[in-house]
């Protein structure tokens, strides 16, 4: 059998090149199909990655701990005590890599010219830095030095709308737990830029202790953000935090906090598979046709082989092998094309022309296509499995030819 299958392999290879034009066209079609599968998945993956990345930076953290009513009523009333005891211990040990307790309240900020509604964040700069949730870039001035820093840091876009600038005073107003307006004047010590202009307008940073004092909440905070640096693994460690937090606190993962992000992420693989199958089906008509033509023009030859005693299974095997060669060559071509086109683009595609549109999806001005090996593997699996299935029909017909009639065909 070894010798026979070697000959069959050679035969299938040579047959493939008898009509090299046809083979090349088909190869090009498969190559383009595979390229499209991988290229488009890479774009989608790049988008999703970035949306999740940006989304997590805004949340921030992969797990957040709140007062149980805070999410439906984000008021200072629903604050939680700063982590202590068991919870603190859980936050200080791996896999948790960083955590930050923050005050987060709705507020109005007024300059001498104008006012805006914002989300006021009272932060501890060192903890936020470890969490990676600091503004992307400080344009002017500095960020807060510590939790007791008395200044505020505004986004560039907000500063422009408020008609204020570095060094000027602004008034921040919010409510204390008794619903009295709490306000204080602060100096703008820094102006930052964020990837998304909407974040620049929404978030105002102040020292945590300063806000706690202004709101008269002692050491209470609004939320604790926790990160372990891998958003895909969150389910493995979130339960431990939940246990440590006890019944009086709500512990949610980012998937529960931002359903848009998690549904995008869970749809991604499904979308990718659907995309690949759709492209493959468009391709399969040509594939079946090509193979059927190859069988049709070789009917006499196949009859002769059968007359010489080649078993139908071997003919089936030979034709499937021919199809497999074609598919594998097409895959190599497509994967190569995809690699060549995606690699240079991984440093980012400038999409600032449609930036405001992309912002609706939570994306910045640059799209980073992500060439994932699992997409390459998935496209290979789809093409080989479905390709061989599609080839089965013409190959099966060839194997069942009646040798006498096949030989007599002109």
Partner 1 sequence: MNVTWVLAWRNLWRHGRRTWLTVGAMVFCNLLLVFMISLQLGSYQMMINNSLAMVSGHLQVQHRDFMADQRMRDSVPAVAALADSVREALGTEAVAARGQAFALASSEDRSFGVLITGVQPLYEPSVSSFPGLVSRGRYLQADDRDAIVIGAVLARNLQVDLGGELTFLGSGRDGSFAAGVATVVGIVDTGIADIDRVVAQVPLVWFQDVFTMADAGHAVVVRLDELDAVPAAVSTVSSLLAADGDLRVLDWDALQPGLRQAIQSDMASGWLMYGVLILLVAFSVLNTQLMSVLERTREFGVMLALGMSPGRLARLVGIETLLMASLGLALGLFLGALLIWYLSVAGFTYPGMEEMAARFNMDERMYPEVSLLALAWGPVTVFVFTLLAAVYPSLRLFRLQPVAAMRAV
Quick one: which segment of 38-46, 239-247, 248-256, 369-377 binds partner 1 (CB under 8 A)? 38-46
* Contact positions with partner 1 (CB under 8 A) in 247-276: 259-260, 263-264, 266-267, 270, 275
Within 13 Å of residue 400, how many CA atoms lie on the same side as its CB? 6
CA 180 centroid distance within chain: 43
Q: How far apart are CA 22 and CA 293, in angstroms?
A: 10
Instruction: Give the x-and-dash track for 359-398 against partner 1 (CB under 8 A).
Output: xxx-------------------------------------
- Per rule CB under 8 A, is residue 216 in the interface with partner 1? no
Minimum separation from the CB atom of position 285 to partner 1 (A): 3
Q: Which residues contact 259 (CB under 8 A, 6 or more apart)?
A: none
* Contact positions with partner 1 (CB under 8 A) in 141-180: 160-161, 163, 173-175, 179
- Per rule CB under 8 A, is residue 399 in the interface with partner 1? no
- Per rule CB under 8 A, is residue 278 in the interface with partner 1? yes
Cβ 17 vs Cβ 318: under 8 Å: no
Q: Which is nearer to partner 1, 11 or 355 (CB)?
A: 355
- How many other CB atoms are found less than 10 A from the CB of residue 257? 18
- Per rule CB under 8 A, is residue 286 in the interface with partner 1? yes
Instruction: Give the x-and-dash track for 91-130 against partner 1 (CB under 8 A).
Output: ---------------xxxxx-xxxxxxx------------
Minimum separation from the CB atom of position 231 to partner 1 (A): 17
In the complex, which residues of this chain contact partner 1 (CB under 8 A)? 19, 21-22, 25-26, 28-29, 32-33, 36, 39-40, 43, 72-75, 77, 106-110, 112-118, 160-161, 163, 173-175, 179, 181, 259-260, 263-264, 266-267, 270, 275, 278-279, 281-283, 285-286, 288-290, 292-293, 296-297, 351, 353-361
């Amino acid at each position: 059998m070894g010798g026979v299958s070697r000959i069959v392999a050679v035969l299938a290879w040579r047959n493939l090149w008898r009509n090299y034009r046809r083979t090349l066209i088909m190869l090009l079609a498969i190559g383009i199909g595979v390229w499209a599968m991988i290229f488009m998945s890479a774009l989608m993956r790049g988008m999703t990655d970035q949306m999740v990345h940006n989304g997590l930076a805004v949340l921030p953290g992969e797990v957040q701990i709140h007062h149980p009513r805070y999410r439906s009523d984000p008021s200072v009333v629903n604050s939680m005590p700063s982590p202590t005891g068991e919870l603190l211990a859980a936050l200080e040990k791996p896999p948790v890599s960083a955590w930050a307790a923050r005050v987060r309240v709705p507020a109005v900020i007024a300059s001498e010219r104008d006012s805006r509604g914002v989300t006021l964040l009272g932060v501890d700069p060192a903890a936020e830095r470890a969490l990676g949730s600091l503004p992307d870039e400080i344009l002017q001035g500095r960020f807060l030095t510590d939790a007791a820093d008395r200044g505020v840091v505004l986004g560039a876009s907000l500063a422009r709308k408020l008609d204020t600038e570095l060094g000027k005073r602004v008034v921040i107003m919010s409510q204390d737990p008794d619903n009295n307006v709490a306000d204080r004047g602060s100096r703008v010590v820094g102006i930052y830029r964020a990837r998304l202009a909407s974040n620049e307008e929404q978030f105002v940073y102040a020292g945590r202790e300063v806000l706690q004092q202004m709101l008269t909440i002692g050491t209470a905070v609004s939320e604790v953000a926790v990160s372990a640096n891998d958003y895909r693994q969150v389910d493995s460690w979130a339960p431990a935090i939940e246990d440590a937090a006890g019944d009086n606190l709500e512990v949610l993962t980012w998937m529960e906090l931002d359903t848009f992000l998690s549904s995008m992420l869970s749809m991604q693989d499904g979308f990718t598979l659907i995309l690949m199958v759709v492209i493959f089906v468009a391709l399969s008509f040509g594939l079946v046709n090509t193979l059927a033509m190859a069988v049709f023009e070789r009917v006499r030859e196949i009859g002769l082989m059968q007359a010489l005693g080649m078993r139908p299974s071997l003919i089936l095997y030979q034709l499937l092998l021919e199809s497999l060669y074609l598919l594998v060559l097409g895959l190599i071509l497509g994967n190569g094309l995809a690699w060549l086109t995606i690699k240079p683009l991984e440093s980012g595609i400038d999409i600032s022309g449609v930036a405001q549109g992309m912002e609706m999806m939570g994306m910045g001005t640059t799209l980073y296509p992500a060439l994932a090996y699992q997409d390459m593997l998935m496209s290979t699996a789809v093409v080989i499995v479905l390709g061989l299935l599609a080839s089965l029909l013409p190959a099966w017909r060839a194997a069942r030819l009646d040798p006498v009639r096949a030989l007599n065909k002109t």
